[in-house]
């Protein structure tokens, strides 16, 4: 549905991608409603210029009435590493998602599900993979398994009338990413270690390029289809991490741990930390796969069906990150 006055509904609006998306939509004159689970989230959403809708994903009575005049629904809310609890992944990435799509099926809404390359990640290197790669249903790492299951939920709903599309960005980055603060803290504390030798190739997706793909997906792309989106070209993971650290006025340490050792350690750590009397692990199998494997994706399908081409180069994104940090001199304001 398209109308002169467009209204978008966003979940995960107070996260890294969500805050950028809301700011962008508001700047375009689009009305935004965003689900808020807490007073703090509601305050953030209000400051961004959107209307907070208090509620929980799995309680549609809290928010479903707000969808009746909505044209586009962007689903960003998800559990992701370093989360290690299977029940949290299932509740958020599968059960809550199922509730959301069921509310959208009977409505005239464009549903844009932000997934991840992790949905097809089985623990082996991914080199120039396209959308024909099978979903990682039942993967040993919890995050990939849950993202694969989530995509199944969306595609099955599309067969029943959901006007849905799936975007799979790889390694989303840019100013405002709170994970950068954790990296800086780790470097400053002398605890940072590179997974592998840093030579593993990776695709990346600057936040501007993901927002560009989301806007294209509002009216382009085939119902029920998934699309990889990424920056132009690939880069060694260590080089990218070093460039991002340099933009934050840090030098990346040379300490590393082999992929095999990290994977073995993560399996042991996850097993121990699942005991009821322990708290979250410092390393998960999902993190090892996401950071330690070669992962490059082919965006040909997105270019063909969405008209997608990267709007921001990696070099320009790094320069903007450097400028943002230099102007504030505070990592917590990135």
**pLDDT (0 to 100) of residue 2:** 44
What are 227's strand-pairing partners?
167
What are 9's strand-pairing partners?
33, 73
From its phi and psi, is residue 128 left (phi > 0), alpha (psi between -120 and 50) or beta? Answer: left
Residue 160 CB neighbours (<10 A): 10
Query: From the DSSP assignment, how many helices (H) and strands (E) are in the chain?
Result: 12, 15
Tokens at 320, concatenated = 């903007």
CA 23 – CA 208 distance, rounded (Å): 12
For the cut 60, the answer to whether the pLDDT of residue 332 exceeds it is no
**CA angle centred on 140, ends 57 and 18, rounded to 5°:** 30
Coil, strand or helix at 206? strand
Going by their DSSP bridges, the two strands 235-236 and 201-202 should be labelled as antiparallel
DSSP 10: E
Cα–Cα distances in Å, from 187 out to 181, 246, 248, 250, 292? 10, 12, 11, 8, 18
Tell me which of 135 and 83 has the higher pLDDT: 135
DSSP 134: P
pLDDT tens digits, one per residue of 140-192: 999 999 999 999 999 999 999 999 999 999 999 999 887 787 778 888 887 78
Q: Where are the beta strands (DSSP E) in the chain?
A: 7-11, 31-36, 51-54, 72-75, 110-114, 126-129, 163-169, 172-173, 194-195, 201-202, 205-206, 226-229, 235-236, 256-257, 295-297
pLDDT tens digits, one per residue of 299-316: 999 999 999 999 999 999
Instruction: Give the residue-averaged pLDDT of 75-97.
Output: 94
Instruction: Give the residue-averaged pLDDT of 76-101.
Output: 94
**pLDDT (0 to 100) of residue 3:** 43
Tell me which of 325 and 218 has the higher pLDDT: 218
Cα–Cα distances in Å, from 209 out to 74, 94, 172, 251, 305? 16, 26, 9, 27, 16
Instruction: Give the residue-averaged pLDDT of 319-328.
Output: 81
Identity of the highest mean pLDDT range in 128-132, 250-254, 325-329:
128-132
**pLDDT (0 to 100) of residue 96:** 97
Q: CA dihedral in degrees (25, 31, 35, 39; nearest 10)? A: 100
CA 109 – CA 2 distance, rounded (Å): 9
Catalytic residue among 89, 143, 227, 325: 143
pLDDT tens digits, one per residue of 229-280: 999 999 999 999 999 999 888 888 888 888 888 888 888 877 776 665 555 6
Instruction: Give the residue-averaged pLDDT of 186-203.
Output: 86
Instruction: Walk me through the domains of the chain, giving residue ranges and CATH numbers.
Output: 7-173+205-231+298-311 (3.40.50.720)
**pLDDT (0 to 100) of residue 333:** 45
Quick one: angle between helices 16-27 and 207-217, nearest 10? 60
What are 10's strand-pairing partners?
34, 74
H-state helical runs in 251-330? 259-273, 285-292, 300-305, 314-328
Using the Cα atoms of residue 294, residue 284, residue 179 and residue 73 in order, give the sign of their dihedral. positive
Active site residue 143: yes
Nearest partner of 176 among 216, 214, 210, judged by Cα: 210
pTM of the model: 0.92
């Amino acid at each position: 549905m398209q109308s002169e006055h467009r209204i978008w509904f966003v979940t995960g609006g107070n996260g890294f991608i969500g805050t950028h998306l809301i700011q962008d939509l508001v700047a375009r004159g689009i009305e935004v409603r965003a689900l808020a689970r807490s007073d703090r989230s509601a305050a953030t959403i209000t400051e961004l210029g959107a209307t907070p809708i208090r509620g929980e994903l799995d309680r549609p009575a809290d928010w479903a009435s707000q969808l009746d005049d909505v044209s586009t629904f962007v689903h960003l809310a998800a559990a992701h590493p370093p989360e290690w609890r299977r029940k949290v992944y299932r509740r958020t990435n599968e059960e809550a998602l199922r509730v959301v799509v069921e509310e959208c099926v009977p409505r005239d809404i464009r549903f844009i599900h932000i997934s991840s390359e992790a949905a097809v990640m089985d623990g082996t290197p991914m080199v120039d993979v396209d959308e024909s790669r099978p979903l990682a249903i039942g993967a040993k790492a919890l995050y990939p398994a849950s993202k694969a299951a989530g995509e199944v939920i969306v595609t099955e709903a599309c067969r029943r009338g959901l006007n849905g599309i799936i975007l799979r960005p790889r390694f989303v980055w840019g100013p405002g990413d709170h994970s950068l603060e954790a990296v800086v803290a780790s470097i400053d504390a002398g605890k940072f270690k590179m997974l592998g030798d840093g030579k593993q190739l990776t695709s990346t997706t600057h936040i501007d390029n993901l927002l560009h793909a989301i806007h294209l997906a509002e009216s382009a792309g085939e119902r029920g289809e998934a699309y990889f989106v990424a920056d132009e070209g690939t880069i060694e993971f260590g080089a990218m991490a070093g460039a991002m650290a340099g933009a934050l006025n840090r030098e990346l340490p040379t300490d590393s741990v082999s992929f095999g050792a990290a994977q073995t350690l993560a399996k042991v750590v996850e097993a121990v930390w699942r005991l009821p009397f322990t708290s979250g692990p410092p390393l998960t199998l999902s993190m090892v796969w996401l950071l330690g494997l070669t992962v490059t994706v082919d965006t040909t399908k997105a270019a063909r069906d969405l008209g997608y081409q990267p709007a921001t180069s990696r070099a320009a994104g790094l320069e903007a990150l450097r400028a943002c940090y230099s102007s504030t001199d505070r990592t917590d304001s990135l």
